[in-house]
Structure formats: C-alpha cells, structure tokens
Amino acid sequence: MQSYTSQEAKFGGFVREALSLFRIHRRQAMERVESTLVTLREMEALLQDYAGFGLRDRDILDIGVGQFLTQIHYFALNNRAIGIDLDVIADGLNPLQYARMLLANGPRRTAKTLGRKLLGIDRRYLAEFKKQMVILSLTRPRVLQMDACKMTFADSSFDFVHSYSVFQCLPDPAAALDGIARVLRPGGVAYISLQLYTSASGFLDPRAFTSQRGQLAMWPHLRPECAGQIEPNAYVNKLRLHEWRKLFSTRCEGAKIIVTPSDWPGLEEEAEALLARGELKGYSIEELLSHRVQVIWKKQ
C-alpha cells in the first residue's frame, strides 16, 4: 500500500507543495512546536476530565508519528512509547534508510525528506522541542513502519493509543478502530483526533495553511466548479460528520465525541452565502463549520 503522504502528483504540483511546506517549516518551528505542545497538554487534560486517566509510566502507541516525531518524543519523556507510520521515518542521512524509503514510499516522499534534512529543518524542530521542554537530550523512541489498518502487535499491549490527524487519511478507519480495541488493555484509553473532510481546509492542500489561502475558493473540494484549484498532499477518505459519529458509536461503545468548530473569521457568513446561492447542496451548516473531531474511549 502506498503512503498516505506519497500520492502521485504532476511535477508542477509537487514543486509548489514542496515550496509551501518549506516556507511553513523554515519560518514557524517555534510556533509549530509550541502549538503541538499546547495540543498535547490540552489532550492530557481531556483524558483526566473524561476518563480519569493520566499519562505517567504507561505503555503508549502513537499512530502516525510523522516526520518530526514531536508527539512521540513528548510521550517518551514519562512513558514507554512506540510509534508507527506507513512512511519510513529516517533518522539522519544514513543512505540505507533512504533506500528503504525510496522502495517503500516512492521518490516524492524521499525527495521531500532529504530536502528537509539537508536544509536543517528537522534539527531546528528538535532543538526547539528541547528548548521548550527545558531538557538537554532525548532518546530516540522506537518507530516501526506499519499500516494502522493492519497492526501486528499482540493483544492487550498498550495502556494508551494516540492518533492525531491520521484517521481522515485511512482507507479503512473501521479496521484501525478494531485494531486499537484489540491492542488496548482493559481500562486503557484511546484518543483520536481527526480533521473533517467537509471543513474549510479538509482537502489538505498545503496552501490552505499559509498566506496563500486567498488563492483558493472556499470549500473548493465540495464545489465541482472549483475542484481544479486544489492539489492535496495526502489521500483523504472523505467521510462525513454523521458517518464518523456512527463509526465511533458502534466500534467504541460509550466513547466521548467532541466536535470543534473552525476559528476562521467570517466562515459562517461565507457558508450561509454559498448555501443561499444553491451551492454546497447536501451539506449541513454544522459539518461545513466544524473542523476537528476528538474521540476519547476507555476500554472496559
């Protein structure tokens, strides 16, 4: 199976994506690390509030560790953490790792990763993480290449399973949920956060998260006449809000589901104007304005 972030694209689209990501990461290491830490601490507070669950001395699985490893480094400070990702996650410039990455994830992912490493972007993120956490050194956590929909861990292996902005990129999220239920111990907790496809940036074009956002129409992925504008950088499964609610309710009985609205200014007025013109038919105002779904489930 191809990596969720290694989808084929025209050369021009690849170059534009690479430049957009470079601008983001070059200028925003401090802000992005800070934002990630705020998100993780807010998640810990939710675990306490809704499940009475703390993250100390736990066996933790992080699904979709990503290239910068910020989340799993955070978990590994006080826990035993393992991460998985469909991509090969390279450490340093060992040629063998990039050979594996090329075979597993293709030239697009390999080129982007090598570019980041050579430009020192990964080092900048790691240094910023240590600075903000006030620590001098880190031990690299164990990271495995594994499909979240086909996990091979033994039953009841983990106390906590974490997944952030991954489920919208899974072709079979039901299989991933079944796997999480299997590898969690009784009394263990899963936390899943995903971005809705129907949100204003749910098409995952990098420009939607930069100053280039004005180049794109609102909800271009939901409006056939605007579809040619977007160049997603990942596979998206396109599940709707009601489908996510049904999936989590049936697979994770008793789960707490939190839907967070977007904080983009003027978004509601934009949605209402488009709906009044007869566009975005079939979409509710709730799913157009909602951005993120968070799920907290404690296994009985």
- Give pairs for 211-217: CB < 8 Å, separation 24+: 212/20
pLDDT tens readout for residues 181-239: 999 999 999 999 999 999 999 998 888 877 778 889 999 999 999 988 888 878 999 99
- The answer to whether residue 14 scores a pLDDT higher than 50 is no
What pLDDT is attached to residue 287? 97
What pLDDT is attached to residue 69? 93
What pLDDT is attached to residue 2? 46
Tally the C-alpha atoms within 13 A of residue 21's C-alpha that lie toward its C-beta.
22
- The answer to whether residue 178 scores a pLDDT higher than 80 is yes
pLDDT tens readout for residues 37-77: 999 999 999 999 999 999 999 999 999 998 889 999 999 99
- The answer to whether residue 142 scores a pLDDT higher than 80 is yes
Give residue 156's region: left, alpha or beta (phi > 0; psi -120 to 50).
Answer: left
What pLDDT is attached to residue 275? 96
Structural class in CATH, domain 11-298: alpha beta
